[in-house]
Structure 1
Amino acid sequence: MSEKNREEKRSARERLQQERAADRTREKRRRTLVVSAAVVGVLGLVAVVGLVVANVGKDKADSAGGPVSAPSGLTGKDALAIPVGATDAPSTLTVWEDFRCPACAQFENGFRSTIQELEKAGELKVEYHLATIIDGNMGGTGSLRAANAAACAQDAGQFAPYHDVLYQNQPAETDDAFAKNSHLLDLAGKVDGLESAPGFRECVDGGKHDDWVNKSAEAFRTGGFSGTPTVLLNGESVFPKKGNENITPDSLKKWVREANKGKKAGSTTPSAPSSIPVESTPAGTPPA
């Protein structure tokens, strides 16, 4: 065999070895990606794809600073919280969210049954605060329109089921479908009695609570929150984790029951909202 033939065979063997090594590297990388994807899938709900970060410069607020038409039955500072659950429950979950926010929908749809279980047991009440950061970040008015419609549902005593319907039917973040009052009214048909409730349609079409929603959005913007959803258990942040522990349905139950140890479960349900919304005034303004 000539020296030239031996050199060609040696080169061919080296190329084959290099190709096999490259194949092994690619296979190792593929397996790593598969394993990583599986881990992400398992932890997806815990991560909830991260917070939707607030674009604080673009939200619109009620600049007039005058009285706003607030929905009925509100609680908390400046009457900005919509309460759900027993009023005397020993623990409080405070939730700031935006109906267009995908991470909010993942939180609500993933934890709904757990939260409702704790509410029904009198262990937890929830105070919902509405924000409109996606309107500012993406453009459009769907956050505002949906929040106003939810406030109208609060007047009719149907906030909780309508709130759930909105998140169960949330459009893509870039699709401003909630900007159409007609669509919001169609979704109200999924809640027994809401669409035909006295004043509900007029409240939605007329944007009756827009100024109140803007006031709530302003409170979110100036409250030092980083994004939605913001979830606080008895004032302590628990989303996406509490301390070093990720939030899951089981961990949320554990945290609530730890906080409630030795305390009596609540049993007092909120009084039904009146059909005529109360008027709220800016903070610091004395009542007439």
Structure 2
Amino acid sequence: MSEGDGKATGKGPGAPRRNWRLYGVAALGFALICGVAATVGQVARAHEATAVNAPKGAVGQSGGTRLDLPVRPTVPVTLTVYEDPRSPQSREFAQRYADTFSRLLASGQAQINYRLVTQSDKRYGGSGATQAAAAAACAQDQKRFAPFMDQIWQHQPAPAKDAFTDRKLLSDLAKKAGKIDHDSFETCVDRSERKGWVARSQSEFAASGLGEVPVVEINGRPLPGPTAQLTPGKLTSLVHKEAQRVAAAAQP
């Protein structure tokens, strides 16, 4: 075989060296493409983490952003409950008043709007409250906010551990909540689609001067005194009185 034949067929003495050069160029090009794709993905995720995208069904207006997450809205009384997913005080309050809230919703006198805040991240360090709140907002996209938060309260770790930064834990809680499309939920969490919304909710709460969570408002008015002095009976009585006041004011 002639030297010219070797060049034509790629089987001459220099062919392996040339082929490896070609493979090297191809591999470098593929690596560059992957690197660009990864960079684009990081930029997109960073944008989604700061963009204020409200979850589906959010209501209320604060600074032009819907921050309240309603559960079975009715009238005439609106209870706004501020809670922090990483706060033991919020967990205690949520579990203590779960039956009371259910009865108030069933009575047709009250709707309950939840406002998620993340002040515990500043207190304890880390980002567990932010991660859990963003995941809860992702669950709200599928109308499964309340069941997901029930799982948050049932499995809330000690706040110093910051365990809600574990994506697997949040994924497992979504499965326990049930009726959540896992792929959609994972995409929402992985892309940080609700983190900007959570950040806005926290900044609005911090600016309000409402103090420590949990906080309860009745038709936009904070309850007098700390929630530690509240009881389920007192809250029910306050809601009934407010419903009567609203009804009387509506009379011609």
TM-score range, shorter chain: 0.7 to 0.9
Residue aligned with 2:149, SS:
helix
Query: How many angstroms apart in 2 are the aligned matches of 1:252 and 1:112?
Result: 12
Contact 1:85 1:119 in 2 (8 A): yes
Give the SS at the match of 1:76.
Answer: coil
| Equivalence for 1:257 | 240
Matched, 1:235 2:220: yes
Give the corresponding residue for 2:3: none
Q: Please name the residue that 2:84 is paired with.
A: 98
Write the mapping of 1:208-287 to structure 2, written as runs, cut at 5 A.
208-238=193-223, 246-261=229-244
In structure 1, what residue type is equivalent to 2:93?
F
How far off its partner does 1:235 sit?
2.5
Corresponding residue number in structure 2 for 1:156: 142
Q: Quote the Cα distance in structure 2 between the aligned partners of 1:218 and 1:246.
A: 26
1:174 aligns with 2:157: no
- Residue type of the partner of 1:221? A
Check if 1:72 corresponds to 2:59.
no
- Paired letter, 2:191: G
Distance 2:190 2:104 in 1: 35
Deviation at 1:198, TM superposition (A): 5.3
Query: For structure 2, which runs of at least 5 residues remain unmatched after alignment?
Result: 1-45, 248-252
| Superposition deviation, residue 82 in structure 1 | 0.7
User: Could you say if the C-alpha distance between residues 96 and 204 of structure 1 is closer, same or farther in structure 2, counting changes exceeding 3 Å?
Assistant: same
In the aligned structure 2, how far is the partner of 1:161 from the partner of 1:118?
18
> Quick check: 1:232–1:239 contact (8 Å CA) kept in 2?
no
Q: Which deviates further from its counterpart, 232-241 or 198-207?
A: 232-241
Q: Which residue of 1 aligns with 2:123?
A: 137
**RMSD after superposition:** 2.4
Q: Deviations over 1:104-161 (max 9, x none)?
A: 1111010011011111221211111111111111111110100010000000110111
TM-score, normalisation: structure 2: 0.72
Question: Shift in Å at residue 175 of structure 1?
Answer: 1.4
Structure 1: which 4+ aligned runs deviate by more than 3 Å? 239-242
Q: Does structure 2 retain, via aligned residues, the 8 Å contact 1:156–1:197?
A: no
- Relative to total residues, which structure has the larger helix share, 1 or 2? 2
- Kindly provide the CA deviation profile for residues 220-255 of structure 1, in whole angstroms up to 9, marking residues without a partner as x: 11111211111112223237558xx93111111111
Question: What is the DSSP-based 3-state SS (H/G/I as helix, E as strand, rest coil) of the residue aligned with 2:160?
Answer: coil
Percent identity of the aligned residues?
36
1:81 is aligned to 2:68: yes
Instruction: Assess, with a 3 A threshold, how the Cα gap between structure 1 residues 160 and 240 changes in structure 2: closer, same or farther.
Output: farther
How many residue pairs match? The answer is 198
Q: Distance in 1 between matches of 2:169 and 2:106?
A: 31
Preserved CA contact (<8 Å) 2:82 2:117: yes
d(CA) in 2 for partners of 1:118, 1:207: 34
Alpha-carbon distance in structure 2 between the residues aligned to 1:240 and 1:159 = 28
The counterpart of 2:191, out of the listed 206, 218, 221, is 206
Structure 1: stretches of 5+ with no match in the other structure: 1-61, 265-288
Which structure is higher in RCO with an 8 Å CA cutoff and minimum separation 6? Answer: 1
Does the Cα contact within 8 Å between 2:77 and 2:109 map onto a contact in 1? yes
User: In structure 2, the residue corresponding to 1:232 is in which secondary structure?
Assistant: strand
In the alignment, the residues of structure 2 paired with residue 231 and residue 214 of structure 1 have an alpha-carbon distance, to the nearest angstrom, of: 20
The amino acid that maps onto 2:204 is A
Residues 139-198 of structure 1 show CA distances to partners (whole Å, capped at 9, x for unaligned) of 11110100010000000110111112111211112111111111011011111211x355
Distance 1:72 1:249 in 2: 30
Q: Distance in 2 between matches of 1:216 and 1:93?
A: 17
Asked if the contact 2:175/2:182 (under 8 Å) is kept, the reply is: no
Deviation at 1:262, TM superposition (A): 7.3
Q: For 1:228, what is the secondary structure of its paired residue?
A: coil
Offset, 1:199: 1.1
Distance change in 2, residues 1:139/1:67 (3 Å)? closer
Q: Give the TM-score, by structure 1 length.
A: 0.64
